[in-house]
Structure 1
Amino acid sequence: MTFANGVPSVAPHTDGTATDPRYGRITAGPPEVSDGFLRDVLRDGYGLDSVTLRPLAGETDRNTQVTDETGARYVLKVTGPGERRAAEFQTALLDHLAARDLGFEVPRVVPDRDGARDRIVDGLLVRLLTFVPGAPLAEAPRRSAELLADVGAVSGRLAAATAGFTHPSPPEAHYWEFAHAGTALADSLPHVQDPALRAAAALIQARYLPLLDERLGGLPVAVVHHDLNVFNVLVRAEGNRARVSGVIDFGDAAPAPRVADLAILLSSAMRGADRPLEVAATLTAAYHGACPLSEDEIDLLFPLVAIRSAAVAATTARLSAGRAHGDPRHRSSGAADLARLLAGVPAEVGAAAVRTACGLPAHPATATAAAWLAGNAAAITPPVAGALAPIDLGASGECYDGADPREPDALRAAARAAILAFGPGTPVGRYAEPRFLAPRRRGADVTLGVEVFAASGTPVRAPLAGRVEAAEPALVLVHEPAEGVRFRTVHSGVATRLAPGDDVAAGGALGEVAAATGDGLPPRVRIQVTGAPVASWPDVPHLAPGDGAALWRGLFPDPTPLLGARDAVTAWRPTAERALPKRHHHLPNSHPTYFTNPIAMVRARDCRFYDEHGRSYLDALNNVTLVGHGHPRLVDVAARQLGRLNTNTRFVYDVLSEYAERLTATLPDGLDVVYFVNSGSEANDLALRMSRYLTKRDDVVIIDDAYHGYTTTVADVSPSRYKHYGKPDTTHPTPVPDRYRGRYGYDDPEAGAHYARHVIETFDRLAAEGRPPAAYLFEALLAGGGQVVLPPGYLAPIFAAASRAGAMTIADEVQVGFGRLGEAFWGFQTQGPDVVPDFVTMGKAMGNGFPVAAMVTTREISQAFDATGRFFSTYGGNPVACAVGLELLKVVEEEGLQQNALETGQYLRDVLAALAPKHELIGDVRGQGFYSGVEFVLDRETKEPASEETLLICERLKDRGVLVYPTGPAWNILKLKPPLSFTRDHADEFAAALDAVLEEGW
C-alpha cells in the first residue's frame, strides 16, 4: 500500500489469481452477543436503562436500535476486535461530518459517561450513535425524478464533505473495494449456479476488468462512504414530497477512487427500475452538479457500475451456497437481474448515458463526425442515383389520414401504400422522425438514420471512401476523411459481397438494396453515422424508444449530409419548435396552453390524443368531443355535407328543421324555439339580453365561482372573469352549494334547501331595494367552480321563488348537457320535474368539436323579443353544423352513451374514491355521470387546498399518458370530463396512473 498526500491508494489486483485473507472479513459476520450484554453496556456505559431493543442488519457490526423511556432513539454498534481500526476511522469521520452543514443528517457519536467515543467491553468495541430518522430509499414505493435528483445531490454533497477528511490510520483494505473486484469475481463465479448470470458476470469481468486495471489507479482518490446503497440513504415526507433525510452506515468508509460512491449508488438504485439508464442519468447529473466529476471518472463510471452489479450478484450466490434461504446479511435483491441487463448493454451506450447527463457529448468521436459531415455535404456521393425527396411518416403524415391510430396494422398499411405511390423522386424517411406505426404512451420509436426506399436490386454507393469493418448483420464502413476525424457509417438492408478489410472508394459499389425485411414496409437502405465501434455490437438499433431518443441521437447523429448536398431532405424537427415562438408573438399573453411543456397534438380518435412525437394520451379532459374524437359517422356526415352545401340560415334546407325538431324533442314541452349561434358564450349572452329586455330589469343572480363565457355581458356574470376587474353592481353572486367545503355538508339531508335559501334571500333583498332581478343564471353542475354537484332539492325552491319575483331562469348547459350527467339528458332535469327553465343554453359538446351552439326558449318568450328586430347569426345553424349536431344526437342514442355516462361515470368515481384511504392528499371525490372532480388538500381537517401539488399531479399524469387539468377557485381539483365513450378499462387506466403519481411523491 502506497500513500499520496496522506491518503492510501491500493494497486489493483483484478486478475483474481490470489485471495488475500483481509478481503474475507465479510464472511466472519458480526459478533454474537446477548440482549443482556447489550443492556449492561447501555446501563453502565451510557446511563440508559428501561430500553427496548430491536436488531438491525449489519455485515460486520452487531447493530441494535435502542429506544429509551423518553422515546429517544439510538443505534448501538458492537464490533469485533478486527474492526477496531475501521471503527476508529469511522468515528473520526462522523465527527468531521458533524461539524459541517450538510443539509441532511448523518449519525453522530454519543460519548459514554466518561466522555469516551467508544468502549471496550469483553474484548468487543462498543459505540453508540444517534438514530437518523427516515425510511430507506429501498422502501419508497416509487421514486420520482425529483427524489432521485435529491438523492444524487445529497450524494455529491456528501462526497464533497468527506473529500476534505484525512486520518493517519485508514482502515485496511476491504473485500468490496473496486481495486479488488477481480478477486471477488474470481472467488465467487464458480458458485453461481444460474448459467445466464454466470455468463453475464463473466462477460462483464472480461469486458471491464482490464479497464479497471488500466485506469482505476489514475482517478482522484478521496474518503468515500463506500456503501452508499438504497438501504443506507434515508428519505422522509416533507408535506407531500419525499426528500432525503439522512445517510447512515459509514462502516465501510475508506480512501478510494472518489467516483466509487456514485458507482455503488447507481448499481443499487438501478435495480428493478423500468428504465435503469434513465435512473443512472438522473442521479449522475445531480451528483455532478454538487461534486463535479472529471471526464476520466465519468468514462469509467458505467464499467464500475457493471462490475459492482456482477460482484454483488456473484458474491451473493457464493454466500448463499448451501443456505436454503440465502444469506440474511445481504440485501442484494435485483443485483442478478441488473447484471444480466448490463451485460447486454454495449459499453458505449452506458457511457453515453452518464456522459450526456454531465453535459458531455455522448461519444467524443461521434461529435467530431457530426461537425465534419455538416460542413462537407458537397463532397459526398448520394447513396442511390436520382432525385431524393422526403416522405412524412411521422404522426402528422397525410398518409395516415383515415387510418385508425389505435390499429398498428392499419398505420403500417397506410405508410406502405404512401411509399409505393410516392413520386416524383425516391422517398426518403427522415432522421429523428417519430415513426407513427405504433403510438405509445412514451412516444413512437424514433429513427436513428435516414431510409432510402428503393426497389430491391437498386445499386447502393459508398458516400465516402472507407474500409469495411463488418459485413453482417449490417455493413459497417470506417471513414477518416480528415486528420482527427474518424467515424463509421452503417448501411442496413444492403446485399453486399464486400468483406471486412475491403477498401471502398467514394461512390464505389456497396451492393444492392436487399429484399423487404418482412416488417410490412417496402425495401430500403438505412444509413446511420456513429463514432462508436458498433461492429462488435450484437445489433445496431435503427430505432430508439421515444423517451430515450436523446441518448441514442447522441451516439447516432444526423446522417442526412450523406445524401449529398440536397436541400430537399432535412432531419425531422418538432412542430412546437416553430409554432410556439410564432404563437407567443401573435397571440395575446392571456391565451393559455395546457402544461408547462405544451403538447403539439396532431391526431385524436375516440378517447385518445396523439402528439407529434407519436405519444398516446388518454383523454379525461375534453368535454367538447362528446362521442369521442374523430367519430367516423360524424366525420363522414360533415365531409358529405361540406361537399354538398354550406350556407346560412336565410336559405331553406331540410337538415336545419330536422335538427331543430330532434333537439327540442329532448327538452320539456314548450321549449321548442331554437336560436342557433356559434358558441356557448353567445348563447348565454343572448339569453341575458332577452331576459333584460322582457323584464325591463338589469340585475342578475348567479352562483359564485361560476363561468358563463367571454363576451362582455357574460363575463360580467362570471366571477372567474370579473374578479380581475371588479364586480358590476348588477351582478349578485350567491354561495356555492358545495357540500365538501360549504356551510352545509354531505351529512345535511337538507343541504339543498339551505343553500337555496341564500338565493331566495338575494331575490327578496333585491326586490326590497326596488331592483328585482331580471334573471337567475346557473350551471346544473358547477364546472369552473370546482366540479360541484348541486345538492338535491336546490333548484326547485329557487325556481318557485324566481317565478314569484318575476325573474327568468337560464340553464347554462354548455358544459354539462347532452347526457353527460347520465341521470338525464339535460343537467337541470336531475333536479326534478318542477325545474323547467325559461332558457336553455348549449354549446361545446353539441357538435363534438365542430362550432355549433344554441339557445332554446318558448314561443311566447321568442315572440315577445321579436319587437327588437331581426335575429341573425351568419354561421349559426349552417348546414354542416346542423348535419353534425343531428348525427351526434343519433350516436348518443344508438350507442347508449348516456347510460354509459351514468354507469361508467360512477365506476370511475368508485375506483378513485378507493384510492383515498391510501393517499391523504385526496380530500373529496364527487360528480355526476361523466363530470367528476377529485379535490386535493394538504390537510383533511383544515382542507387547505393543495394547489401546487394538483398542477404537478396533472403534469405527472401527462408524462404517464393521461390528460386532465386543475379547476376550481384554488386550482386544486382535477376536472374529469372525458368523452361519453370512456370505458371501465379507461377508468382503471386513469386510476392506476393517478395512484402511481401519488405514490411516487415529488
Structure 2
Amino acid sequence: MPNTVLFQRTELARPLASLNDAAALLKQHYGLEGSIKELGSQQDRNFRIETEAGRFVLKIARVEYATLELEAQNAAMRHLAKSEYPWKTPQPVCALTGEEVLPVTLGDEQYNARVLTYLDGLPLSSRNYFSPTTMHAIGTLSAQVALALSNFEHAGLERDLQWDLRRAGPVALHLLSSVNEQKRRDDVAKAMVLSMRYINPLMDDLRVQAVHHDLTDDNIVGELDAEGRLVPNGVIDFGDLISGWLIGDLAVTCSSLLHHTDGNVFAILPAIQAFHAVFPLNEAEIKALWPLVVARAGVLVASSEQQLQIDPDNDYVSNNLEHEREIFTLATSVPFSVMEVAILSALGHQWPKEHPVLGRLLPDIAPESINLTDLSTTSPDLEEDNWADPQIDWKLLAKAASDTGSASTRYGEHRLSYTRLLSPRPPANFPLHIDACLPAAAQAVVPFDCLLKRTNQHFILVGADLALHIHGLECQLDDGTELKAGDALGRIAGAEGSVGGLRLQLCRDLDLMPPLFARPDHAFAWQRICPSPAALFGVDLDAAPVQTDIALKRRQRHFASPQKHYYANPPQIERGYREHLFDTTGRAYLDMVNNVATVGHGHPRLAMAAKKQWSLLNTNSRFHYQAVADFSEQLASLAPEGLDTVFLVNSGSEAVDLAIRLAWAASGKRNIVSLLEAYHGWTMASDAVSTSIADNPRALETRPSWVHPVTAPNTYRGEYRGPESTDAYVAAVERALVAMDERGEGLAGFIAESVFGNAGGILLPPGYLQAVYAMVRARGGICIADEVQVGYGRLGHYFWGFEEQGVVPDIITIAKGMGNGQPLGAVITSRAVAEAFEQDGYFFSSSGGSPVSCVIGMTVLEIMRDENLMENAREVGDFLKGKLEDLANQHPLVGVVHGMGLYLGLEFVRDRDSREPATHETAAICERLQDLGIIMQPTGDHLNVLKIKPPLCLDYESANFFVAMLDKVLSEGW
C-alpha cells in the first residue's frame, strides 16, 4: 500500500526560482555566465544556459526528493555513457566545490541543484507524426536503454514516486478528485480498475530492474535522417529513474507515442517489435503491456489535472494536458483483448486456424440452399457508383435470396459499400459478422450451452468462452435463462412465406460489445476475438483472404523486372471510378498522377462503347471500316490548319519513334536536337532522344551520335533562371546548330515537349519555341511537338501545349489519355511530310487504328466535350494551383509550383536559395500521402517534384482534399 510520502509528493508545486535566481546560482556556484532560458517541467525548475564553454542545464529540485535519489540519476547517466550504444545522455557537472548535488537556498526555501551538460537535438515531440521507421527506432532505443540499465544498481533507486506503474492504481484513484469533469473522472476510474484486474494476476512474473521510466517523446532527442524523418539519438531527463517493472518502461514509451499515430493505435506495434527484438519480453510482460499503457494514460491525465490546481501558471503542464487526454482516449479506444492479440501477433505468435465448435442454429435450412453475395471490390454486381447506395448490401442480399429464399453475406469480405471517398484513413469495412436473408418463421435452436442475455436491440447467448450476438430473431425467453445446446430458441422474424433478416456475430471477449466492422489493417486482431459464425449455418461463409503479397510475388516471378511498380509495398488496385481508385481491401485512393485516364476511371460510356464494338468487330486498319475514317477526321480537325494527316499507333513511344522517322524522311537528314532532362519513350528512337537520368541513369553517356541534347530551358533550377532567360536558352540551341553547320552536317529536326512535363510541368520561357522553331526551319529541319503528356486539353487554357508558346509544329505526337488507357496514340502532320515517308515503304500498327481503339478514341473526345473536361481542367486546375501556392507560403520545403491546368508540379527543396533538391523527402512524402489515401509520385531528374496530373474530371472537393492532406504531411511530418 503506498505510503504517505508518495501521496504528499503528488501535491508538490515547482520550486520558486526565477531567471535571476538561476543566473546568480550558476555564476556563484559553477562559474557559468551567459544567456538563460527556462525549460518546462512538472515539479522541477529547469534552465538552459548558453556560455562560451558550451550549453548546460540547471535543475532545481525540491528537497522532498532526497539527495540519494538525485545521485542515483547522475550515476545512471555516467553508467549509460559507458554503454556500447550510439545514443548519448547528459552528464553531471560538478560545482566549484566539487559537489554534484548542491544544497541551495532561494528565498526561505531549501532546494537541491544540479548542472548537466546540454544534449543537442530536436525533441521527438516536435513532430506530430511518426513513421513506422521512427517508431521502430524509438522501440530499439528504449530497449537498449533498459538493457544497459539492467545491471545498474544504486540505493537511490528505491523511491516513492507517483509515476511508478507498480502503484498506478492507488495513485490514480488518489488523484481522481482533481479531475473536474464527471465523465472523464468516471472514464479514468473505470479504466484503472479494469487495468488492475488484468495486471494483478501477472505481477509475480513481471521483471524488476533499474528503468528510466520516462522515455517519452519529450525526453528522447533526435536528428533528421536523409528522408527528413526525425530519428532518435539521445536520452534526457532521468528524473523518474526507479527500480520498477521492465515492461512498465516500455508502457511509458508506448503511451507517449499514441498521439503521434494519427489516431491509429496499431501504429505503435513497430516500437514493440523493435523492443522485443533487442530485449525479449516474457509472456506475462506481453499480456501486461497494454493494461499498463492504459494505466499510464490514466495517471497522466489525473496527475496533470491536479498539478494545474496546485500550480496554475505551469505552462508545461497546461500545454501537455490536451495531448495527455488524447493519449488516454486512444489507449482506451481498443479493448485489452484485441490489443493483446495485436501485440502477440506482431511478436510472431501464431494461432491455429479453427472455427468454434457449434451446433446448427437453423437446422431446417439446408446449407446448400444458402446463396452468397459478392460485395467485394471486384463484384460484378457493383456497377458505376451503386456501391455508394446505403442500402446496396441488403438489395444484393435480397437479390441473392430470390431463387432459394436463403442468402448470406461473407464473413471477412472487405465491402466496397463501406468505403469512403476522400478519407485519410482506411474504412472500417471488414465484417466481423454475417447478414442473412432467410425464410421467415424458420425455427432456431441453441447452438451451445449458454445463458441468454437481453439488450435493448438484440440478445446474446453467453457461453463458457464464447458469446453469440443475434439480431432479427424472435425470442420469447427471459433474460438470464439458462439454455442447453439443442433447446428451442425462437424463429426468424417476419410473416410466414416472406423473407426475414438475420445478423450473427461471435465474440470471445464476453464483456465486449464488439463492432460490426474492423479496419482492414486491424482485422488480423479482431478476427481472433470475433471468429466466423459459419459453423452456425453448416456452410463455408468466409471470404478468401486478401493476399496482395502473393500477387506481387507472382508478378515479380514472371513479369520482367525493368517494368517497375509504384511504391515499395503497393496496394493491389482492382477498380476505379472517376478520379478514385480502389484496392482489394476496399480502400479508396485519390488518383492525382494518372494522366492516362483523361475522362476518369470506369466511365460507363467508354465501357458500353468498347463492349458494343467488340461484339461487332475488331481487326487492323488495313481493313476498311467507318471508325478509322471518323476518328482520323476528328483528330485532324483538332490540329492547326495544314496539319491534316493522321497516323494511328499503339503508344506515345511509338508515336515519337514514328515522328523521328518522318523527320528523317522529310528532311533527308539524321541529326535530331532534343532537350536535356526530357523523356519521350522506350522504343529505340524515342529512347535515343530521352535524356532524363531519373528514367535512365546512363542516359547522357549512351546517346547515339545523331542525337544532340541541348540545355534544358528549366527556368527554376536551370543554368539560366526566370522568365527573362529566353535569350540565353535560345542561344544554347543556336550554338549547337552552328556547331552542326560548321561540321557540314544537316539537321533533321528538333523535338521537345511543349511544356516541360517530365521535369514537373515547367512552362517554357516566353518565345522560346518561336525562336527555336525558326532556327530549325531555316536549316530545313522538322519541328516535333511531343504532346503525349501535356496536350489534349490537359492544360485547360489550351488544347495543345504548343499554343501557349504561339507556334505551330510540323508534327504532333499524342497518346496517353486519348484512349483513356486503351493502347492508342497518334501522329498528326502535313500531307507532304507523311508522303515523304512512303519512300521507305508503308506503315502499319496493329491495334493503333483498330475499330475498338478508334471507337474508344472518339468516345473519349465526346465525353470531354459533353462533360466540359477541358474547362474543368482550367477552372479546377487554376483553383488547385492557387491552393498549392498558398502552401508554398507556409512550408519552406516547397520551392515553387509549376505548370498549368491539371498538369502541375510541386517542387521540394531543402533550401530556397541554393535550391538543393529534397529528393529523399519527396519520396517519403509520397509514401505518407499513400497512407492518407492519395496516389502521388515524384518526377524530374532529381525526383523532387510531385507530378500532379489527375484525370480531367477532378472536382473541387478532391482538389481540396489533396491540398489538405499535403498540408497535413508537411505540417506533421512523414
Show the counterpart of 2:741. 767
Structure 1 residues 985 and 343: alpha-carbon distance in aligned structure 2, compared to 1, 3 A threshold: closer
**Counterpart for residue 394 of structure 1:** 376
State the match for 1:138 in structure 2: 125
CA contact (8 A) 2:70 2:101 kept: no
Contact kept? 2:376, 2:415, Cα under 8 Å: yes
Q: Once superposed, what is the RMSD of the aligned Cα atoms?
A: 3.4
Alignment match, 2:717: 741
2:799 matched to which residue of 1? Answer: 825
Q: In the superposition, relative to structure 1, how do residues 208 and 718 fare at CA in structure 2: closer, same or farther (>3 Å)?
A: closer
Aligned mate of 1:304, from 281, 292, 315: 292
**Cα gap change, 1:908 to 1:36, in 2 (>3 Å):** closer
Query: Which residue in 2 is equivalent to 1:483?
Result: none
- In structure 1, the residue matched to 2:412 is 432
Q: CA deviation at 1:389?
A: 4.6
1:830 maps to a residue whose letter is E
Deviation, structure 1 residue 703: 1.6
The offset of 1:772, in angstroms, is: 0.7
Residue 491 of structure 2 is aligned to residue 512 of structure 1:
yes
Q: Distance in 2 between matches of 1:411 and 1:818?
A: 37
Aligned to 1:953: 925
- TM-score after normalising by structure 1: 0.87
Is residue 16 of structure 2 the alignment partner of residue 32 of structure 1?
yes
Q: Does 1:609 align with 2:581?
A: yes
Letter in 2 for 1:848: N
Q: Which moved more, 1:156-165 or 1:352-361?
A: 352-361
Q: Confirm whether residue 180 of structure 1 aligns to residue 167 of structure 2.
A: yes
Matched, 1:541 2:541: no
SS in 1 for 2:240: coil
Structure 2 residue 482 is matched with structure 1 residue 502: yes
Aligned to 1:255: 243
The one-letter amino acid paired with 1:39 is: A
Residues 579, 59 of structure 1: alpha-carbon distance in 2 compared, 3 angstrom cutoff? closer
Match among 417, 426, 449 for residue 443 of structure 1 = 426
- Matched with 1:106 is 89
Query: Is residue 280–residue 354 contact of structure 1 (8 Å, CA) maintained in 2?
Result: no
Deviation, 1:396, is 0.8
Counterpart residue number, 1:963: 935
Q: Which residue of 1 aligns with 2:829?
A: 857
3-state secondary structure, aligned to 1:297 = helix
Instruction: Provide the rounded CA distance (Å) in 1 between the counterparts of 2:364 and 2:76.
Output: 63
Distance in structure 1 (CA, Å) of the matches to 2:752 and 2:873: 22
Q: Among the aligned pairs, what percent are the same residue?
A: 32
Q: Aligned equivalents of 1:871 and 1:132: distance in 2?
A: 71
| Secondary structure of the structure 1 residue equivalent to 2:834 | helix
- Counterpart contact for 1:403–1:410, Cα < 8 Å: no
Q: Deviation at 1:591?
A: 1.5
Relative to structure 1, is the Cα distance of residues 814 and 572 closer, same or farther in structure 2, using a 3 angstrom cutoff? Answer: same
Aligned mates of 2:156, 2:59 — CA distance in 1: 24
Unaligned runs of 5+ in 1: 1-11, 14-18, 362-366, 481-485
* Residues in 2 aligned to 1:263 and 1:661: alpha-carbon distance in whole angstroms: 71
Q: SS state of the match for residue 338, structure 2? A: helix
Conserved? CA contact 1:821–1:928, under 8 Å: yes
Show the counterpart of 1:202. Answer: 189
Q: Out of 241, 246, 254, which is 1:266 matched to?
A: 254
Q: Pairwise mapping of residues 907-922 of structure 1 onto structure 2 (< 5 A)? A: 907-922=879-894
Summarize the Cα distance change of 1:913–1:291 in structure 2 as closer, same or farther, 3 Å threshold.
farther
Q: Judge conservation of contact 1:24–1:175 (CA < 8 Å) in 2.
A: no
* Selected match of 1:151 from 126, 132, 138: 138
Q: Which SS does the other structure have where 2:947 is aligned?
A: strand
Distance 1:699 1:914 in 2: 44
Residue 44, structure 1, aligned to residue 28, structure 2: yes
Structure-2 separation of matches of 1:195 and 1:890: 63
Confirm whether residue 986 of structure 1 aligns to residue 958 of structure 2: yes
Residue 114 of structure 2 aligns to which amino acid in structure 1? R
Task: Provide closer, same or farther for how the CA distance between residues 456 and 319 of structure 1 changes in structure 2, counting only shifts above 3 A.
Answer: farther
- The 5 A counterparts of 1:890-905 are 890-905=862-877
Of the structure 1 ranges 859-868 and 153-162, higher mean CA displacement relative to structure 2 is found in: 859-868
1:553 corresponds to which residue?
A: 527
Q: Structure 2-normalised TM-score? A: 0.90
- More displaced 10-residue stretch of structure 1: 321-330 or 731-740: 321-330
The 2-side partners of 1:356 and 1:32 are apart by 49
> Structure 1 stretch 706-715 or stretch 393-402: which is displaced more?
706-715
Residue in structure 2 matched with residue 8 of structure 1 by the alignment: none
Structure 2: how far apart are the matches of 1:214 and 1:253?
Answer: 25
Q: 1:690 to 1:60 in 2, by over 3 A?
A: closer
Task: Measure how far apart 1:66 and its partner are.
Answer: 2.1
Matching of residues 638-653 of structure 1 within 5 Å: 638-650=610-622, 652-653=624-625
TM-aligned CA distance change 1:663 to 1:211, over 3 Å: closer
Report how far residue 78 of structure 1 moved.
4.3
Distance 1:630 1:663 in 2: 24
Selected match of 2:767 from 778, 789, 793: 793
Matches of 1:652 and 1:30, distance apart in 2? 91
1:291 and 2:279 equivalent?
yes
The residue matched to 1:916 in structure 2 has which SS?
helix
Distance 1:500 1:905, change over 3 A: same
Residue in structure 1 matched with residue 234 of structure 2 by the alignment: 246
**SS of match in other structure, 1:270:** helix
Q: Equivalent residue of 2:418, what SS?
A: coil
Aligned-residue offset at 1:121: 3.2
Looking at structure 1, the residues matched to 130 and 482 of structure 2 have their Cα atoms a distance apart, in angstroms, of: 51
Distance 1:28 1:775, change over 3 A: closer
550, 569, 577: which one aligns with 1:597: 569
> 727, 752, 758: which one pairs with 1:778?
752
AA of the residue aligned to 2:491: E
CA contact (8 A) 2:681 2:687 kept: yes
- Is the 2:893–2:909 Cα contact (8 Å) retained in structure 1? yes
Contact 1:558 1:571 in 2 (8 A): no
* 3-state SS of paired residue (2:899): strand
Partner residue of 1:673? 645
Give the superposition deviation at 1:546: 2.6
1:767-808 Cα distance to aligned partner (Å, 9 max, x none): 333331222222212333443432221111221122221112
C-alpha deviation, 1:198, in angstroms: 2.2
Give 2:635's aligned residue: 663
Deviates more, 1:36-45 or 1:803-812: 36-45
C-alpha deviation, 1:962, in angstroms = 0.7
Q: Distance in 2 between matches of 1:947 and 1:733?
A: 24
Q: Contact 2:41–2:316 (CA<8 Å) still a contact in 1? A: no
1:814–1:212 distance in 2 versus 1, CA, 3 Å:
closer
Distance 1:901 1:402 in 2: 22
Distance of 2:972 and 2:20 partners within structure 1: 42
Kindly state the Cα deviation for residue 527 of structure 1 after the two structures are TM-superposed.
4.6
Partner secondary structure for residue 124 of structure 1: strand
Residue 396 of structure 2 is matched in structure 1 by 415
**Structure-2 change in CA distance of 1:842 and 1:913 (3 Å):** same
**Aligned partner letter, 1:227:** D
Alpha-carbon shift at residue 559 of structure 1 (Å): 5.0
Give the Å deviation of 1:744.
1.1
Letter in 2 for 1:906: D
Q: Which runs of 5+ in 2 are unaligned?
A: none
Task: Supply the AA of the counterpart residue of 2:349.
Answer: L
From the superposition, tell whether residues 209 and 78 of structure 1 become closer, same or farther in structure 2 (CA, over 3 Å). closer
Counterpart selection for 1:728 from 684, 690, 704? 704
Matched, 1:999 2:968: no
1:999 partner letter? S
Q: Which amino acid aligns with 2:207?
A: P
- Is the alpha carbon distance of 1:410 and 1:676 closer, same or farther for their aligned partners in structure 2, counting shifts above 3 Å? farther
Distance in 1 (CA, whole Å) between partners of 2:324 and 2:398 is: 47
- Residue 348 of structure 2 corresponds to residue 346 of structure 1: no
Q: Deviations over 1:903-952 (max 9, x none)?
A: 43233233223333544433332112221222333444444433333222
> Given that residues 761 and 898 in structure 2 are in contact (C-alpha distance below 8 angstroms), is that contact kept between their aligned partners in structure 1?
yes
Distance 1:508 1:781, change over 3 A: farther
**Residue identity in the other structure for 2:321:** S
1:964 aligned partner, one-letter code: M
Tell me if structure 2 keeps the 8 A contact 1:381–1:462: no
